[in-house]
């Protein structure tokens, strides 16, 4: 899945993921995921914010989505 859009609305990050060609063959649809942060940081990684998915699970600091959301936050 390729991330095609990230939007920040009212403190919630809306991430739109588009499937690649092979995933489209198997019927995978475009996904919209939501993430939220409460301003917390990881204890051993103070440069990374903690993000929570819409189902309440914390995004791991080694997960690619954590890196993408933190980079979105630091862009200019």
Whole-prediction pTM: 0.85
Note the pLDDT tens digit of each residue in 23-32.
Answer: 999 999 999 9
Q: For residue 15, what pLDDT is reported? A: 96
C-alpha–C-alpha distance, residues 25 and 72, integer Å: 30
Amino acid 9: pLDDT? 95
The structure tokens listed for 12 are 């919630």
Structure tokens at 70: 């933190």
- 73-76's contacts with Cβ under 8 Å and 24+ in sequence apart are 73/49
> What's the structural domain count of the chain?
1
pLDDT for 76 equals 80
Q: What is the pLDDT of residues 40-54, one digit of tens each?
A: 899 888 888 999 999
What's the CA gap between 45 and 29, in Å, rounded?
A: 34
Q: Which domain holds residue 32?
A: 2-74
């Amino acid at each position: 899945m390729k991330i095609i859009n990230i939007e920040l609305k009212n403190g919630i990050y809306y991430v739109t993921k588009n499937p690649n060609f092979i995933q489209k063959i198997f019927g995978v649809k475009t996904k919209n995921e939501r993430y939220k942060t409460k301003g917390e940081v990881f204890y051993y990684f103070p440069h990374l914010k903690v993000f929570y998915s819409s189902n309440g699970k914390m995004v791991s600091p080694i997960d690619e989505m954590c890196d993408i959301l933190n980079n979105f936050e630091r862009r200019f």
